[in-house]
Structure 1
Amino acid sequence: MEENHTIGWRMQNSYVALPEVFYAKTEPEPSPSPELIVLNYPLAAALGLNASELEKKQGIDELAGNSLPEGAEPISQAYAGHQFGHFTMLGDGRAVLLGEHIMPGGKRVDIQLKGSGRTPFSRGGDGRAALGPMLREFIISEAIHALGIPTTRSLAVVATGEPVYREETLEGAVLTRIAASHLRVGTFQYAAARNVVEDLQALADYAIKRHYPEVKEAQHPYVALFEKVVERQAELIAQWQLVGFIHGVMNTDNMTISGETIDYGPCAFMDSYDPATVFSSIDRQGRYAYGNQPGIGEWNLARLAEAMLPLFDDEIETAIQIAEGKLSSFRELYHEHWLQGMRRKLGLFAEEPQDAELVEELLAVMKNQGADYTNTFRALTLDDWSGMPIRETNVFKEWLAKWEARRARQTETKEESAELMRVSNPSIIPRNHRVEEALEAAVERGDFTVMDRLMNVLAKPYSYTEEQAEYTTPSVSNVPYRTYCGT
Structure 2
Amino acid sequence: MFFNLQPATRTGAAITADELPFNNSFAELPPAFYTRLMPTPLPSPYFIAASAPAAALVGLDPQDLAREDFVDVFTGNKVAVRSQPLSAVYSGHQFGVWAGQLGDGRAITLGDIATPNGPMELQLKGAGLTPYSRMGDGRAVLRSSIREFLCSEAMAALGIPTTRALVLTGSHQRVMRETVETAAVVTRMAPTFIRFGSFEHWHYRGKQDELRLLADYVIKNWYPEFTGAANPYKELLAEVTRRTARMIAGWQAVGFMHGVMNTDNMSILGLTLDYGPFGFMEAFDANHICNHTDQGGRYSYANQVPVGHWNCYALGNALLPLIGTPEEAEEALDAYRPAFGARLDELLHAKLGLLGAREDDEALFDDMFKLLQASHADFTLFFRRLGDLERDGDLASDAPLRDLFIDRKAFDAWAAQYRARLRAEDSIDARRREAMHRTNPKYVLRNYLAQTAIEQAQNGDFSGVHKLLAVLERPYDEQPENEAYAALPPDWAAHLEVSCSS
TM superposition score category, shorter chain reference: over 0.9
List runs of 5+ in structure 1 lacking aligned partners.
Answer: 314-318
Deviations 1:320-358 (A, max 9, x none): 111112212211211111111000000012111221111
Moved more, 409-418 or 377-386: 409-418
Alignment match, 1:347: 353
Aligned residue number for residue 6 of structure 1: 16
Inter-CA distance 411–107: structure 2 relative to 1 (3 Å threshold): farther
8 Å CA contact 2:107–2:124 kept in 1: the answer is: yes
Contact 1:130/1:486 (<8 A) preserved: no
Instruction: Please state whether the residue corresponding to 1:198 is helix, strand or coil.
Output: helix
Structure 1 residue aligned with 2:395: none
Please give the alpha-carbon distance, in whole angstroms, between the structure 2 residues aligned to 1:477 and 1:467.
Answer: 23
- The secondary structure found in structure 1 opposite 2:186 is strand
Structure 1 window deviating more from structure 2 (453-462 vs 252-261): it is 453-462
How far the C-alpha of 1:56 sits from its partner, in A, is: 2.1
- Please name the residue that 1:378 is paired with: 384
Equivalent of 2:283, from 272, 275, 284?
272
Distance 2:307 2:495 in 1: 24
Select which of 335, 338, 341 maps to 1:335. 341
Is 2:459 aligned against 1:448? no
RMSD over aligned CA atoms reads 1.8
Displacement of 1:468 = 3.4
- Please say if residues 153 and 177 of structure 1, whose CA atoms lie closer than 8 Å, have aligned partners that are also in contact: yes
Q: Secondary structure at the match of 1:258?
A: coil
Offset, 1:90: 0.5
Contact 1:365–1:396 under 8 Å retained in 2: yes
* Distance in 2 separating the partners of 1:276 and 1:205: 39
Task: Select between 322-331 and 274-283 the one with higher mean Cα deviation.
Answer: 322-331
Q: Matches of residues 31-430 of structure 1 in structure 2 within 5 Å?
A: 31-88=42-99, 89-103=101-115, 105-313=116-324, 319-383=325-389, 385-386=399-400, 388-390=402-404, 393-410=408-425, 413-430=428-445
Instruction: Give aligned-pair identity as a percent.
Output: 38
Could you tell me how far apart the structure 2 residues matched to 1:48 and 1:382 are? 39
CA distance in 2, matches of 1:106, 1:341: 26
* Residues 277-319 of structure 1: CA deviation (Å, up to 9, x unaligned): 0121110010000010000000000000000001111xxxxx1
Give, in angstroms, the shift of residue 428 of structure 1: 1.5
| Structure 2 unaligned residues grouped into runs of 5+ | 1-11, 390-397
Worse overlay, 459-468 or 266-275: 459-468
CA distance in 2, matches of 1:223, 1:441: 49
Equivalent in the alignment of 2:9: none
Deviation at 1:241, TM superposition (A): 0.3
What is aligned with 1:316? none
Label 1:385 to 1:429 Cα distance change in 2 as closer, same or farther (>3 A).
farther
Is the 8 Å Cα contact of residues 347 and 417 (structure 1) preserved in structure 2?
A: yes
The reply on whether 1:469 has 2:483 as its aligned counterpart is yes
Contact kept in structure 2, 1:137 and 1:264, CA below 8 Å: yes
C-alpha displacement of 1:396: 1.5
Structure 1 residue matching 2:291: 3-state secondary structure: coil
Contact 2:52 2:61 in 1 (8 A): no
Cα offset, 1:51, TM superposition: 3.4
The number of residue pairs the alignment matches comes to 478
Report the more deviating stretch, 38-47 or 271-280. 38-47
Farther off after superposition, 383-392 or 338-347: 383-392
CA distance in 2, matches of 1:339, 1:406: 16
How far residue 414 of structure 1 moved from its aligned partner, in angstroms, is 3.3
TM-score (normalised: structure 2): 0.92
Deviation by residue 1:403-427 (Cα, 9 ceiling, x = unmatched): 1111222255333322221111011
TM, length-normalised to structure 1: 0.94
Aligned letter for 2:379?
Y
Distance in 2, Cα, partners of 1:387 & 1:357: 21
CA distance in 2, matches of 1:387, 1:436: 27
- SS where residue 74 of structure 2 aligns? helix
How many angstroms apart in 2 are the aligned matches of 1:267 and 1:343? 26
SS at match of 2:129: coil
1:425-457 residue CA offsets vs partner (Å, 9 max, x unmatched):
0111112111111111111x2112222222221
Native 8 Å contact 1:115 1:175 kept in 2:
yes
Conserved? CA contact 2:49–2:466, under 8 Å: no
**Partner of 2:370: helix, strand, or coil?**
helix
- SS of residue matched to 2:491: coil
SS at match of 2:306: helix
Aligned-partner Cα distance in 1 for 2:438–2:309: 29
Q: Distance in 2 between matches of 1:451 and 1:113?
A: 19
In structure 1, what is the Cα distance between the partners aligned to 2:46 and 2:466?
Answer: 17
Distance 2:375 2:179 in 1: 40
